[in-house]
C-alpha cells in the first residue's frame, strides 16, 4: 500500500502465498504493536512527570512505526517516484518537526496496521488458491521394471505407469491404461457426481479413485499438471487490471502530486495571512487526509479475492477485466452441442432407400467420417461397429457436409436441403420433429438413406436456464443444427429465442443484434465456437478441464460439465463488481469530506489519521467479502485444506503492478479460428 502509486520495490516482490501464516506474524502489524507499546509507555511516563524519557519513547514509537513505509518511500524518491508512502513520510517528519510526537507515532501505527491487514488479506486469499495443490498426495506409486516404487510427485516422469488404488488421489495427469473405476472430480470441477472411466479416458491431478485399482500412464509432470496449471493461470489473472481498477488508477495517478501542491498552497497562502506554524500543521493534515490509500487497494484486493473464490468453485476468470465484464452481462448465447447437450450423440434411427441394407449406409457414412473428430462422426463410427475403409479426397463443405470418393463412387453426407431427401423426405421430417439431427447419405447422386443422431439435453440444462432468467439474463440458443431439432431442444431447456442452421461466422454476426446494446456472453466449447467467443463481450468455455486451448483463450473457463456453474459464476461476478463500485465510491467520499475539514482546521492530525485508516480497514474488509461464493445445490467447492504442498509450481510471471502508474497492458488474447477448427464447424449440421 505504501508503494501503491509507485509499484513494488524488489524486496516486496515475493510470492504473496509464501507470506506469514498468522496475523501476528505480519511484520507491519508487529511494528505497529511494538510502537503502540512504546507510545503507551511514553504517555504513562509523561503523566508521571518524567518528560525526557516520555519524549524518547514517543520518538522511538515514531521510528518503529515508520519503518514499515518510510524506507520504501525514500527508495522511490531516488527514482523520482512519489506515492502514498511519500505523503505519510512527509506528514510524520513534519509532525515531529512541530513537536507533535504522539500524533506522528499514531499516524505511523494506524498506517502500518492498515498496510498489514491488506498484506494479510491478499496472502490469505492467494494461499487459499494454492491450497488446491495440497490435493496432490505426498507420494505416488509407479510401476518401474515390473516393481512398485514410491516416489514424490515431482519425481514422476512422462510415460511412467502410475498405480492408483481405491481411495487414492492422482498426483498428476494421465491416461488410464488398465482397469475401470469411478472418479471423484469434485475438488477440480465442482461437480459432486462421480464420473465412470476406463482405458483411454483422461485422469486429472487431484482426482480421487472411487472404484477399483487402475494403471495410469503419466502425460504431464506434476508441475505442469492441470491442477498446477489452474493455479498458475489464476495467479496471473488476479494481476490483470479491469476497467474499475483502471478507473481507480486514473483518479489516483494525478491525485498524489495534486495533494502535494494543495498542501504547499495551504501552507504558503495561510502563512501569508496568518500564523505560519498553524498553517504548516494544517498542510500536513491535508497530506494525510487526501492520501488515496483506500482508493489504491479498492479494486485490486476485490479482484484477487473474487477470482480466487471462483477458481475454487469450478470457474477460471481471466483477470479483472473479464470479472467486471462478467458482472455486466445481461444476455447469454448458448451453443447447443456440448453446452446444452451431453455431447455424446448416438444413432437413434436409420432410414433406408428400397433395397439398401442399413450396413451399407453406415459403411458409406463411416468412410467419410473416418478421420473426423466431430461428435456426430463418433456416433456414426460407433454404430457402424466394423472395420472402416476411409474415403479418398474427403472435403468439408462449410455448413453443409462432406464429400469424398470410395471404390470409384462419389459419396456425399450432409444436411437435408443440401442433399435431396427424395422419397425419404417424410421420414426425415418426422425424425427432425422428434429432436434428432438427420444426415443423408448419397452415392453417385442417389440417396441411400438417412441417419438420425440425437444428443440428449443435460439434465441440469432447464434449471441452469431458469437460474439465468432469475438473474435477469436473457438466454438464446445458437446452433448449426436444423430448425426442428433446435426448437425441440430449446423447448426442453426452457429457451424461447432460437437461431438454427448457422455457420460459425453467422453466430458471431448475430451477437450484436442479440445484445441490443447490452453486454453479451457466448458459451461454447472453446474451440468450435471461436468466432462467436471472440466477438462476445465475454467468451465462456464450457467443460474446459484439461483443454489447453479453452483454458488459455477463453475469458472465462468452466472447468466441469455442469451448466449450473454458469449462473453461479455470473452471480458471483455481479456481487464482486458491486463491491468494487462500493469501495471506489466510499474511498472518494472519504477524501472529499476530509480535505476541506483538514484545511480549515476542523479536524486535527490525530483525528484525520484515525478516520482515514479506519476507512481503509473498512475497504479491506469489504473487499475480502468477494472471497465468499455461494455454492448451488448439486455442486461443490474445492475442500479447504492447510496441508503441505507436495508439488512445485512456477510463480506467476508478474507480480501486482503499479496501482497508480501502471505499464501499458497488452490486449487480451482471444480465440482464433484455425483451419481444422473451421472444418469441424463447417461439417454438416454441426
Work out the average pLDDT over 563-576: 92
Residue 151, pLDDT score: 92
Task: Give the separation between CA 78 and CA 81, rounded to whole angstroms.
Answer: 7
Burial of residue 75, with CB atoms counted within 10 A of its CB: 0-12 exposed, 13-18 middle, 19 or more buried: middle
Look up cell 442452421; give the residue: 501
pLDDT at 61 over 80: yes
Burial of residue 458, with CB atoms counted within 10 A of its CB: 0-12 exposed, 13-18 middle, 19 or more buried: buried
Closest to 91 measured CA to CA, from 570, 608, 624: 608
Task: Give the separation between CA 371 and CA 680, rounded to whole angstroms.
Answer: 11
pLDDT at 4 over 50: no
pLDDT digits (tens, 9 = 90+) for 270-317: 888 888 888 888 888 887 787 777 777 778 788 888 888 887 787 888
Looking at every residue in the chain, the average pLDDT score rounds to: 79
pLDDT at 14 over 50: no
Higher pLDDT, 490 or 319: 490
Identify each DSSP E strand in 220-345 by its residue range.
315-317, 329-335
pLDDT at 652 over 70: no
Closest to 268 measured CA to CA, from 260, 420, 358, 438: 260
Work out the average pLDDT over 451-473: 90
Residue 614, pLDDT score: 85
pLDDT digits (tens, 9 = 90+) for 129-164: 566 677 788 899 999 888 899 999 989 999 999 999
Work out the average pLDDT over 13-29: 61
Higher pLDDT, 605 or 439: 439
Task: Name, of 251-265, 357-371, 460-474, the range with top average pLDDT.
Answer: 460-474
Catalytic position from the list 120, 239, 335, 525: 335
Question: Cα–Cα–Cα angle for 406, 407, 412, nearest 5°?
Answer: 30
| Band of residue 245 on the pLDDT scale cut at 50, 70, 90 | low
- Per cent of the chain over pLDDT 90 is 20
Task: Name, of 62-71, 267-276, 517-526, the range with top average pLDDT.
Answer: 62-71
pLDDT digits (tens, 9 = 90+) for 387-396: 888 889 888 8
CA 9 to chain centre: 27
Residue 559, pLDDT score: 78
Closest to 130 measured CA to CA, from 642, 655, 657, 653: 642
Asked about 335 being catalytic, the answer comes back as yes
Residue 297, pLDDT score: 75
pLDDT at 326 over 80: yes
Residue 686, pLDDT score: 45
| Band of residue 22 on the pLDDT scale cut at 50, 70, 90 | low
Work out the average pLDDT over 599-609: 84
pLDDT digits (tens, 9 = 90+) for 620-648: 889 888 888 777 766 666 555 556 666 76
Task: Name, of 122-131, 324-333, 634-643, the range with top average pLDDT.
Answer: 324-333
Residue 160, pLDDT score: 92
Task: Give the separation between CA 160 and CA 220, rounded to whole angstroms.
Answer: 10
Residue 332, pLDDT score: 95
Half-sphere exposure of 433 (CA within 13 A, CB side): 6
Task: Give the separation between CA 207 and CA 475, rounded to whole angstroms.
Answer: 33
Q: 189-198, 388-397, 409-418, 622-631: which has the minimum mean pLDDT?
A: 189-198
pLDDT at 402 over 80: yes
pLDDT at 216 over 90: yes
Amino acid at each position: 500500500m505504501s508503494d501503491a502509486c509507485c509499484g513494488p520495490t524488489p524486496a516486496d516482490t515475493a510470492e504473496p502465498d509464501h507470506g506469514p501464516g498468522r496475523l501476528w506474524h505480519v511484520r507491519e502489524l508487529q511494528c505497529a504493536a511494538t510502537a503502540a507499546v512504546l507510545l503507551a509507555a511514553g504517555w504513562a511516563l509523561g503523566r508521571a512527570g518524567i518528560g525526557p524519557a516520555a519524549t524518547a519513547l514517543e520518538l522511538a514509537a515514531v521510528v518503529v512505526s515508520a519503518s514499515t513505509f518510510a524506507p520504501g518511500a525514500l527508495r522511490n524518491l531516488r527514482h523520482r517516484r512519489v506515492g502514498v508512502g511519500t505523503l505519510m513520510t512527509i506528514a510524520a517528519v513534519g509532525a515531529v518537526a512541530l513537536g507533535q510526537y504522539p500524533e506522528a507515532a499514531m499516524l505511523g501505527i494506524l498506517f502500518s496496521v492498515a498496510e498489514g491487514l491488506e498484506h494479510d488479506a491478499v496472502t490469505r486469499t492467494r494461499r487459499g488458491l494454492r491450497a488446491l495443490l495440497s490435493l496432490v498426495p505426498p507420494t505416488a506409486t509407479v510401476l518401474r521394471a515390473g516393481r512398485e516404487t514410491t516416489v514424490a510427485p515431482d519425481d514422476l516422469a512422462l510415460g511412467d505407469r502410475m498405480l492408483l488404488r481405491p481411495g487414492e488421489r492422482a498426483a498428476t495427469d494421465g491416461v488410464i491404461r488398465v482397469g475401470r473405476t469411478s472418479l471423484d472430480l469434485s475438488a477440480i470441477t465442482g461437480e459432486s457426481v462421480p464420473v465412470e472411466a476406463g482405458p483411454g479416458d483422461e485422469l486429472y491431478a487431484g482426482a480421487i479413485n472411487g472404484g477399483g485399482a487402475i494403471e495410469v500412464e503419466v502425460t504431464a509432470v506434476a508441475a505442469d499438471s492441470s491442477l498446477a496449471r489452474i493455479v498458475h493461470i489464476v495467479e496471473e489473472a488476479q494481476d490483470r487490471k479491469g476497467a474499475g481498477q483502471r478507473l481507480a488508477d486514473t483518479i489516483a495517478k494525478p491525485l498524489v502530486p495534486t495533494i502535494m501542491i494543495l498542501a504547499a498552497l495551504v501552507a504558503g497562502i495561510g502563512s501569508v495571512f496568518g500564523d505560519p506554524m498553524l498553517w504548516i500543521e494544517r498542510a500536513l493534515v491535508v497530506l494525510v487526509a487526501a492520501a488515496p490509500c483506500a482508493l489504491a487497494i479498492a479494486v485490486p484486493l476485490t479482484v484477487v479475492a473474487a477470482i480466487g473464490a471462483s477458481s475454487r468453485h469450478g470457474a477460471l476468470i481471466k483477470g479483472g477485466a473479464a470479472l467486471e465484464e462478467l458482472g455486466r452481462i445481461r444476455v447469454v448465447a448458448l451453443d447447443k452441442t456440448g453446452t446444452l447437450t451431453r455431447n455424446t450423440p448416438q444413432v437413434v434411427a436409420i432410414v433406408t432407400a428400397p433395397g439398401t441394407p442399413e450396413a451399407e449406409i453406415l459403411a458409406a457414412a463411416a468412410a467419410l467420417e473416418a478421420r473426423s473428430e466431430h461428435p456426430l462422426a463418433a456416433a456414426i463410427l460407433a454404430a457402424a461397429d466394423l472395420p472402416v475403409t476411409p474415403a479418398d479426397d474427403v472435403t468439408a463443405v462449410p455448413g453443409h457436409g462432406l464429400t469424398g470418393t470410395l471404390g470409384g463412387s462419389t459419396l456425399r453426407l450432409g444436411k437435408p436441403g443440401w442433399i435431396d431427401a427424395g422419397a425419404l423426405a417424410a421420414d426425415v421430417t418426422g425424425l427432425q420433429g422428434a429432436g434428432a439431427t438427420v444426415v443423408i447419405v448419397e452415392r453417385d447422386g442417389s440417396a441411400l438413406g438417412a441417419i438420425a443422431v440425437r444428443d440428449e439435453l443435460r439434465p441440469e440444462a432447464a434449471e441452469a436456464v431458469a437460474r439465468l432468467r432469475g438473474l435477469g439474463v436473457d438466454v438464446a440458443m445458437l446452433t448449426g443444427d436444423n430448425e426442428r431439432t433446435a426448437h425441440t431442444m430449446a423447448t426442453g431447456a426452457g429457451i424461447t429465442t432460437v437461431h438454427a442452421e448457422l455457420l460459425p461466422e453467422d453466430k458471431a454476426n448475430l451477437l450484436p443484434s442479440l445484445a441490443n446494446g447490452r453486454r453479451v456472453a457466448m458459451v461454447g466449447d472453446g474451440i468450435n465456437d471461436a468466432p462467436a467467443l471472440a466477438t462476445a463481450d465475454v467468451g465462456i468455455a464450457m467443460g474446459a478441464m484439461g483443454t489447453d486451448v479453452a483454458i488459455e483463450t477463453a475469458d472465462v473457463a468452466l472447468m466441469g460439465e455442469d451448466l449450473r456453474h454458469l449462473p453461479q459464476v455470473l452471480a458471483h461476478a455481479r456481487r464482486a463488481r458491486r463491491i468494487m463500485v462500493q469501495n471506489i465510491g466510499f474511498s472518494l467520499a472519504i477524501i472529499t469530506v476530509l480535505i476541506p475539514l483538514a484545511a480549515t482546521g476542523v479536524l486535527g492530525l490525530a483525528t484525520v489519521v484515525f478516520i482515514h485508516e479506519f476507512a481503509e480497514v473498512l475497504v479491506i474488509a469489504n473487499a475480502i467479502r468477494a472471497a465468499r461464493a455461494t455454492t448451488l445445490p448439486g455442486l461443490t467447492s474445492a475442500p479447504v485444506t492447510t496441508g503441505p504442498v507436495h508439488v512445485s509450481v512456477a510463480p506467476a510471471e508478474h507480480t501486482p503492478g503499479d496501482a497508480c502508474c501502471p505499464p501499458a497492458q497488452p490486449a487480451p488474447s482471444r480465440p482464433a479460428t484455425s483451419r481444422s477448427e473451421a472444418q469441424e464447424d463447417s461439417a454438416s449440421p454441426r
